[in-house]
Amino acid sequence: MTEKTARKYRDLGGIPARAPRTYRTRKDPFESVWPEIERLLEASPGLEAVTIFDTLRLRADVSFGDGQLRTLQRRIRRWRASRGPEKEVMFSQEHRPGEAGQSDFTDMRELEVRIGREPFDHLLYHFVLPYSNWESAGVCFTESFESLVAGLQGAVWEMGRVPRKHRTDNLSAATHELKDGGRSFNERYKAVLDHYGMAADRNTPGRGHENGDVEQSHHRLKRALDQALMLRGGRDFDSRGEYEVFLGKVIEGRNRGRREKYAEELAVMKPLPLTRLCEHRTERVGVSVFSTIRVANNVYSVPSRLISERVEVRLYAETVEVFYAGERVCAMERLRGSGNARIDYRHLIFSLVRKPGAFARYRYREALFPTVTFRRAYDALVERLGEEADLPYVRILHLAATTTESGVEETLSTLLERGELAGWEDVKERVRPETPTIPECQIPAVDLRAYDFCLEGVPS
């Protein structure tokens, strides 16, 4: 400031107060069209300023520059604050110790975790106590009923206590749609909560913020995991178990600062029941003539000797087990989604080797290439033999089923590198194990005179 201004402020004892400005410094460029803009906003309150601005610029009677969009945005914001429609109010809630637990699934792909350098696409079942913010989480792959039960039981048994109610959003695993609209809890989900003495609670459909504590915890947990992965220096893990240990340590660290309130919750929670519930769903299904069963809208192959029989299927969160007459006959990884198929060539190969012509148009033919090496072998045979390649490949697959898949794969890899794969005989000569030689055992007769000699020295 100038000396004159400083001298004036000194004589006044401070900077004089200025009256607020009540006039515009420049003409309002939207004054002529503002009544029209107001009518548009009243008719459609959701219209954005950009949309209105672009519409106005199409008219010949007005002219606006790009820099005037910001002016229109400010004016529309002021109009909405003073004359616009009422906005939805969020009401902060008072949480009470031990009253409720909230849970939900969250997608973890954004963290780009890898197992053995392969992307690990997975979900987390995330459980939170709103009062203390204590949390528990477990890896899963689908938002299935079995994943829900496994995650919920894992959380309450980790706590050793049970809250009075459990809140979810409208998961299809826990609710079903009613004929007259709305959703209601499934009987099987209510049976789980009855076992633990918890009341069922859920948010209003389309109102995810009503399950807000766990939703906000999703964001915070992911951010903490992302930071921990940065400190770790990599997102690649050797195994799923190593990743789960890492996940557990991050959650344990986050829970460490919540101990005091968590203890308050435990003190008023109910005790656990004596036993856990089974974490699988049981179904009885028939085996089709295709040697397959359909479970949870997916197809799985089973041993062909079970065709036309009924089997018991135990559907877990990640596995499917098949039982016949009380004996487990096979188990496989559970498929995600619906409309998919998991075919094991060992279940079908003994029929296919007798009918190799079925290979060419088999619906699940891609499942008959157990590894990339087998696919390369088939392509090499096609290049050499053309349409006649199906029979030798099926015989190679039969050889893998009757010996070892790894041994056949290793032999195929060697032959492909040398360019020597001409037929299945080349593989058979190198893979078929030799007949083991049984050694002859000569066991001499026991000489009982040694016992007589011992008895002679014993006093009568």
- Give the residue among 196, 395, 405 at the shortest CA–CA distance from 413: 405
Q: What is the pLDDT of residue 382?
A: 93
Give 426-431's long-range contacts (Cβ < 8 A, gap of 24+): 427/396, 427/399, 428/395, 428/399, 431/399, 431/403, 431/404, 431/407
What pTM does this model have? 0.70
Residue 430 has a CB neighbour count (10 Å cut-off) of: 14
Query: Could you give the domains of the chain?
Result: 29-85 (no CATH), 100-271 (3.30.420.10), 281-342 (no CATH), 346-431 (no CATH)
Task: Report the first-to-last Cα separation within the chain, whole angstroms.
Answer: 131
pLDDT in tens, 401-450: 998 899 999 999 999 999 988 888 888 888 875 666 778 888 888 888 77
* Nearest alpha-carbon partner for 128 in 197, 199, 221, 247: 221
**CA neighbor of 296 nearest in space, from 329, 328, 326, 318:** 318
Mean pLDDT along residues 46-71: 87
Compute the average pLDDT of residues 338-356.
93
Structure tokens at 149: 């039960």
Residues 248 and 230: their CA atoms lie apart, in Å, by 17
Least confident of 6-10, 69-73, 304-308, 410-414: 6-10
Q: Per residue in 72-123, pLDDT tens?
A: 999 899 999 988 888 877 777 778 898 989 999 999 999 999 999 999 999 9
* 403 contacts: CB under 8 Å, gap ≥ 6: 431, 432, 433
At residue 209, the pLDDT reads 47
Percent of the chain clearing pLDDT 90 (strictly above): 57
Question: The tokens of 148 are what?
Answer: 């829900």
What pLDDT, on a 0 to 100 scale, did the predictor assign at position 347?
A: 95
Residue 460: burial class (beta carbons within 10 Å; 0-12, 13-18, 19+): exposed
Between the alpha carbon of residue 277 and those of residues 149, 194, 281, 375, the distances in Å are: 9, 11, 11, 43
Query: Any idea which residue has 């032959």 for tokens?
Result: 415
The pLDDT tens digits of the residues spanning 287-297 come to 999 999 999 99
